[in-house]
């Protein structure tokens, strides 16, 4: 999130063939005008809700991850969508806040900030959700990556390895595993990447002290656990 040259990003399901999104189906293949000719004007009129930015039913404060709390980011800092129906979600972007927890929450609530992330993970393992996963958070400074990814912020500074605590790694791994399970995202360094690895990024987070081997191992361990145990772990408060 903050700058200083830094930033605000085993398979979960095997080699399953990716699903086509409603957006791809609508605009691909024959094309919009051919679709109109085939399905007719009345049928096409009913597809308006497939377009990006159209509201779908949602409840204020509804969570995607059972272990999180909710604070809403400003609507200026994210875009309404209906993922994964209009955009397939296949990436997690790992960020470091370059600031404290409360200042990061307030930044995402500030309409002039023009950035947000779906989640913030604190050093004690607390997780705050600020944007629904079905919506597009402005976290990666890359429109296509924003549309296909979920952003997880971690409270701390890239130059301070002590900020990346055991509780933070464990909570973030449970969150990432939950996301990977629900969206069928493979757990590897192609699909879980740092903000600095986003094409066009001018940020350096999560930086050299983020332990990617440890993080991916923890995510895989959560995914390998029985579903009941994994669900209980996700819902458990930090020790």
Reported as a single tens digit per residue, the pLDDT across 199-218 is: 998 999 999 999 999 999 99
Q: What does the CA dihedral 96, 101, 145, 222 come to, rounded to 10 degrees?
A: 80
Reported as a single tens digit per residue, the pLDDT across 99-115 is: 999 999 999 999 999 99
Determine the Cα–Cα distance for residues 124 and 145; give it in Å rounded to an integer. 29
Q: What is the pTM of this model?
A: 0.77
8 A C-beta contact, residue 82 and residue 54:
yes
Residue 187 confidence (pLDDT) above 80: yes
Provide the mean pLDDT of the chain. 82
Reported as a single tens digit per residue, the pLDDT across 165-176 is: 999 999 999 999
């Amino acid at each position: 999130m903050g700058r200083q040259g830094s930033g605000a990003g085993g398979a979960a399901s095997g080699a399953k063939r990716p699903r086509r999104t409603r957006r791809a189906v609508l605009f691909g293949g024959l094309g919009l005008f051919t679709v109109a000719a085939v399905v007719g004007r009345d049928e096409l009129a009913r597809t308006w809700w497939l377009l990006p930015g159209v509201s779908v039913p949602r409840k204020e404060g509804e969570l995607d991850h059972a272990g999180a709390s909710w604070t809403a980011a400003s609507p200026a800092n994210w875009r309404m969508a209906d993922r994964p129906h209009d955009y397939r979600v296949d990436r997690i972007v790992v960020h470091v806040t370059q600031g404290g927890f409360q200042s990061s929450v307030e930044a995402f609530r500030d309409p002039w900030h023009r950035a947000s992330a779906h989640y913030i993970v604190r050093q004690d393992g607390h997780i705050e959700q600020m944007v629904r996963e079905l919506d597009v958070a402005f976290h990666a400074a890359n429109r296509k990556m924003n549309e296909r990814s979920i952003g997880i912020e971690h409270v701390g500074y890239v130059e301070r390895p002590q900020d990346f605590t055991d509780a933070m790694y464990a909570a973030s791994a449970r969150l990432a595993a939950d996301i990977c399970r629900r969206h069928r995202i493979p757990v590897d360094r192609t699909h879980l990447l740092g903000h600095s690895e986003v094409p066009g990024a001018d940020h350096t987070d999560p930086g050299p002290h983020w332990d990617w081997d440890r993080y991916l191992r923890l995510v895989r361990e959560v995914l390998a656990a029985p579903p009941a145990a994994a669900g209980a772990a996700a819902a458990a408060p930090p020790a």
